[in-house]
A = this chain, B = another copy of it.
Amino acid sequence: MQQRRGGNGGRVTISEVAERAGVSTATVSRVLSGRGQVSAEMRRRVQHAADALGYQVNSIARALRNSRTDTVGMVVPSITNPFFTSLVESVEHALGRDGKELFLCDAQSDPRVEARRLASLAARNVDGIIVSPSHGTESGPAVQETADRLPLVQLDRFVGGTDTDWVGVDDIAAMRQVIDHLHAGGARSAAFAGSRLTNSSSEQRLEGFRRRAADLGMAVRDEWILLGDYSVEWGEAAVAALAAAPGGPPDAIVCADDLIALGVTRACRAHRIDVPGRVQVTGFDNIEFARLGEPALTTVDQPRDRIAAEAVRLLAAAAGDAAPGPRAHIALVPRLVVRDSTRAGGPE
């Protein structure tokens, strides 16, 4: 076992390797970083010495020198939200193909924490930042400041008043599919359970819901627009409110994400409201647990791998350019996944 020494953690440096191999540090560097011309013999000797000494690069030193870290930072609103973790997984895969690593931070749904995380990622010289802003307006300043310093792309959510790349889904189009499906299943009135309008997903989804419901002449009462947060608890609370109202709940409850929908279906069971018989319910995101609900959730599947790939591509492009180039806003159209919480069968 190796003994820990010095402030360095007892790390072997290239000069030790150089000394042992009887060459200069430059040669060692050339061999180990694989750049420049070195003879086979030198290469062998250096490699041997490095192995014998158990040399590992110090990427801090390398980063200082290169001002590149091969690391991308990512900030998500909540690491316990399964949608974001699967998005993280997709991003990691996309990054892996470029030999980059991910430095993940949790904003704890708090713009102040988020601002700290962004600053600290910038201080650590990450090569780029992927952020899903936790707040629709308050996240703005920190996101913009960060974007002014290094490549940044917003993912899924978007914060107003910022000028950056963005990749996400077309919430309006998604909601159109949802409402059409519900309507085909016989729904003539609908409620919306979302989060307080502090982020773009929620806003856009509500907007899409309103628009298409109006198009189809579906009844949407003001007291059926229920805004809380992205959580199971909130879904449960929403049903309690809906059930208590005179006339009972509408024909459908459209949820802004699957967590809420899971809470809604659970509460419906508790309140003995048949789903989808009495009320149809839809989610959004298609997290793994969506299919486990009772009944399994009809929901909108987000193309996470594609979203992640586009984000990584934009970042790489931005890193290459000297000048900031024009911004891209990429909205992918998601797909409706029909399960058992809605009455299947369209017009045909």
B-side contacts of A106, CB under 8 Å:
88-89, 92
**Residues in chain B near residue A86, CB distance under 8 A:** 80
Contact A9 B82 (CB under 8 A): no
A82 and B82 contact, CB distance less than 8 A: yes
Minimum Cβ distance to chain B for residue A151 (Å): 9
**Interface assignment of A60: CB less than 8 Å from any CB of chain B:** yes
Contact B8 A57 (CB under 8 A): no
| Number of A residues, CB within 8 Å of B | 56
Distance from A60 Cβ to chain B, minimum over Cβ atoms (Å): 5
Query: In this assembly, does A24 line the interface, its C-beta being within 8 Å of a C-beta of chain B?
Result: no
Verify B63–A60 contact, CB threshold 8 A. yes
Contact A4 B324 (CB under 8 A): yes
Max chain B C-beta neighbours (<10 A), residue from A60, A63, A71, A105: A60
Collect the chain B residues with CB atoms within 8 Å of residue A104's CB. 103-105
A119 contact set on B, CB distance < 8 A: 56
A125 proximal to B (CB < 8 A) = yes
From 100 to 137 in chain A, residues with beta carbon under 8 angstroms from any chain B beta carbon are 101-106, 108, 117, 119-120, 122-125
Which stretch, A212-220, A237-245, A288-296, touches the partner chain B?
A288-296
CA of A92 to CA of B56, assembled, Å: 28
**A57-B123, A101-B120, A149-B2 known; A89-B80 Cβ under 8 A:** yes
What are 24 A-B interface contacts by the 8 Å CB criterion?
A: A4-B148, A4-B149, A4-B324, A7-B66, A7-B67, A11-B149, A56-B123, A58-B123, A60-B123, A79-B88, A80-B82, A80-B89, A88-B106, A89-B106, A92-B106, A101-B105, A101-B120, A104-B104, A104-B105, A232-B288, A262-B289, A269-B294, A289-B289, A292-B293
Return the 8 tightest CB-CB contacts between A and B, nearest first: A294-B294, A59-B123, A104-B104, A7-B67, A2-B148, A60-B63, A60-B125, A60-B64
- Give A residues with C-beta under 8 Å from B: 1-2, 4, 7-11, 56-61, 63-64, 66-67, 69, 71, 79-80, 82, 85-86, 88-89, 92, 101-106, 108, 117, 119-120, 122-125, 148-150, 232, 262, 266, 269, 288-289, 292-294, 322, 324
